[in-house]
Amino acid sequence: MKAFGDEDDGRAGSLSDINIWGRILRYSTRHWPALTSAVLLSFFVTGGTLALPALLQHGIDGFITATNLDGAARLAGLASTSLWYGLLVLLVFGTTFVQTIVLEWIGQTIMHRIRQDLFAHILRLDLQFFNDHPTGRLVTRLTNDIQNMYEMFTSVMVTLFNEMVRLLAIIVLLFLMNVELALLMTIFVPVSALVTILFARLARAGFRAIRRQLVRLNSFLQEAISGMTILQLFGREGKSLREFEDLSHGYLERTLSQIRLFGTFMPITEFMSSLATALILWYGGGEILRSRLTLGELVAFISYMRLFFQPLRELSQKYSIVQSAMASAERIFQLLDTGSRIAEPDRPIARPAVIRGELRFDKVRFSYDQHQPVLHDLSLTLRPGQAVALVGTTGSGKTTLVNLLLRFYEPQAGSITIDGIDIARFALADLRTIVGVILQDVLILQDSLLANIVMNSGRSRQEVEAILARTGMARFVGRLPLGLDTLIGEGGHELSSGEKQLLAFARVLCRAPAILVLDEATAAIDTESENILEEAIADSFRGRTSLVIAHRLSTIRRADHIIAMRHGRIVEQGSHDELMAAGGYYAELVAMDRHNGNGE
């Protein structure tokens, strides 16, 4: 298999990217009252946390060491101080709880909005985009990248502000309490800053490596699970397991490397905090002995100093989260900015009340990669009500014609018209109701059979039953346990390949298209279902233009006109009898089909 996810560089994003910050804040503006309340709550949390050491100082100097007070007064004072300390702890706890709930709500709501916007945008992108981008990478955008941004909203945006305020407040308080001790402690500030910056850079590289490996892992899993039939058919389970083990081991190694980095940084920070405590105890203890410092002031100073190192640890970790979140935000917004190559018309024409169904391809030229042409100035006309069959080997351009007709792709040259109107002038939704397509692969929703047939056509149950009766497909429904109410899809009744094709026919006929396209729709159908399908096909051909891409000779013979294609060009056309009598390319295809056992 290929090297998954190598296109994704896993970069860590730039904190100075004003455009990304602006877009993030735009998602936040509708929540400004909640954000404001979270900021105000952070002031309460910071104020309450910083008041605790002051209460300790008051209890020690005012009562424990206050020899001028009698024992009863000192005990009463300590009881009062302890009560206020307990109440303050409860206040900080309650405020932190409310702030956490507010931040979680903001984060979840914003991520829900971004996730909805992103998926809605993906639904509007053209098929070429999905050919160019692995499914695993798109899944990562909608899951892991969204989660990274959520982490930033909940644990960074206000919390980072909270830690910065606390850090600055502690520095001010330390200098107000004792300038000499504060200056002694500032020796550790440059060292702490250097260690924090070094850690942040190493953590950023680690997050980048983890993200790149995760994209590879997701892409591999998506391809392996979706292609499980092929893996088991060709006995590639062992090779796939080894490849997965390599990818998973790579992810494990990168994650453990990041854990080791955190495991190194935290003890270093704790060591510096302990060393600073030792120096403060040595110097502060001497000041107490010289009666230039009280015991309460020293205890409060040490408490503030330990609180000082906590924001440093938090800021370094949050910096890494921000780097990862900025990279995710950049990729998400880049995807949101990716426009579809298939644009809606600026002024779409209204769908005509009556569509005759004349379909014309005029000198159409197309290439998927701009280098190898698939269609070469192809011209083709289908008269209203005419059934035309396209035949040819794989790669001859048959399915490409269907993709162009539905505007999944745009031709590089030429035009496609319906009743003389360029299909680019129709709104995409209207065009895809005018043209109904029945594919070999049928999407099954986890819902009732009726819901799977109706989709968004708006047909009533009675109308669906009438269509099924008219086309002979009521027999197919009658075999199901609950008829139209039978639950199908994952966890429901399992449909055979033939039954899925019957469902696809019923689904398209509910939309009453003026032009019907059958793209290999009967290639994998069983004989029993084909007998039912004969009536459905006959009914669907009646009164509408039909374009058939099929291997089955019975389906091809039903067409009014047959076109043989090879390498993106029309090489023969005529009726079945005419082409067989000519003994050319079409006759070779029929002979090959009969040799393979598909002929009738």
Q: So what's the pLDDT on residue 379?
A: 92
Q: What is the CA radius of gyration of the chain?
A: 36
CA distances from 392 to 49, 136, 318, 323 (A): 78, 33, 60, 53
CB 398 within 8 A of CB 346: no
Beta bridge partners of 546: 387, 516
- Strand 387-391, strand 545-549: pairing: parallel
337-343 long-range contacts (CB < 8 A, ≥24 apart) are 338/121, 338/125, 338/129, 340/124, 340/125, 340/126, 340/129, 341/126, 341/128, 341/129, 341/409, 341/410, 342/126, 342/407, 342/408, 342/409, 342/410, 342/428
Given a cut of 90, is residue 362 above it in pLDDT? yes
> Angle at which helices 295-337 and 146-155 pack, to 10 degrees?
150
Higher pLDDT, 436 or 554: 436
CA–chain centroid gap for 58, Å, is: 55
Cα separation of 74 and 56, whole Å? 14
CA distances from 341 to 125, 129, 177 (A): 8, 8, 66
Give me the percent of the chain exceeding a pLDDT of 70. 89
With residues binned 3-state (H G I as helix, E B as strand, rest as coil), the percentages for the chain, rounded to 5, are: 65, 10, 25
Higher pLDDT, 319 or 598: 319
Cα separation of 477 and 472, whole Å? 10
Q: What confidence tens digit (pLDDT) does each residue in 110-139 have?
A: 889 999 999 999 988 888 888 788 777 888
- The alpha helices in 227-294, defined as continuous H runs, are 228-233, 237-289
Q: So what's the pLDDT on residue 520?
A: 67
Q: So what's the pLDDT on residue 133?
A: 82
- In the β-sheet with 545-549, what is the strand arrangement from edge to edge? 435-439, 515-519, 545-549, 387-391, 561-566, 569-574
Confidence of residue 475 (pLDDT cuts 50, 70, 90): confident
CA distances from 494 to 297, 475, 532 (A): 77, 17, 19
Count other Cβ atoms within 10 Å, centred on residue 494: 11
Task: Provide mean pLDDT across the span 550-564.
Answer: 77
- The alpha helices in 186-236, defined as continuous H runs, are 188-226, 228-233
In single-letter form, the type of residue at position 421 comes to I
Confidence of residue 553 (pLDDT cuts 50, 70, 90): low
Given a cut of 70, is residue 482 above it in pLDDT? yes
Q: Is the pTM of this model over 0.85?
A: no
Tell me the domains of the chain and their CATH numbers: 18-337 (1.20.1560.10), 359-595 (3.40.50.300)
φ/ψ of residue 572, rounded to 5: -150, 155
φ/ψ of residue 562, rounded to 5: -120, 135
Confidence of residue 2 (pLDDT cuts 50, 70, 90): very low
- The alpha helices in 435-481, defined as continuous H runs, are 449-454, 461-471, 474-478
Cα separation of 588 and 594, whole Å? 10
Terminal CA-to-CA distance of the chain, rounded, Å?
A: 40
CB 228 within 8 A of CB 345: no
Where is mean pLDDT largest: 61-70, 186-195, 563-572?
563-572
Mean pLDDT for the chain overall: 82
